[in-house]
Amino acid sequence: MILDKYKYLLFDLDDTLLDFGKAQILAFKKLLEDENIEYNDELFEKYETINKSLWRSFERGEISNKEVTSERFIRFFSLFDRKVDGSEVDNRYRGYLAEGNQLFEGIIEMLEKLIITHKLYVASNGIGITQHTRLKNNNLNKYFERIFISEMELHGLTWVLSPDLPPPCCVPLGKLPNLSEPDSFLICK
């Protein structure tokens, strides 16, 4: 089996273990319900266009992730001539998103098998609090040695949060043993 040659498996969370697409739509529907706006697919597509455009700006280093998460709702609700506090709306949205407990079929069974033979890790570029809540709500923490959250990058190092310790209990990725060995790990996305 191809996995036999690897000691460590790093899993992305969104759209690998958890169905982020489903969670995102449900969170967006709840947010619109809060605002007394009836959901339809066209509205979600408009939101997605705004959101993706802002994330591309972030990837180019033009804006921060905090600006993305706030500005996307300011721009979206401006389509309805509404002024909103983007950070407040994002906090509500993120709360709904954190409720997203949509595991893909067969994930628990797969993790139960892999934990016997491998060291398992999560490597996510998501927002830390949301990802930790989703892991906890789906009872996934017990499978992973460490959780890598790109948002926790400081001083050029990616910081690792232990699943059994709340933030900010973390160590730099560079200090973890063995992850730099050639062919020692596989990223599962």
| Residues identified as active-site | 12
What whole-number distance in Å separates Cα of residue 137 and Cα of residue 51? 25
Contact 88, 79 (CB under 8 A): no
Q: Mapping DSSP to helix (H, G, I), strand (E, B) and coil, where does residue 14 land? A: strand
**Which amino acid type is present at position 144?**
F
130, 133, 139, 145 alpha-carbon torsion, rounded to 10°:
70
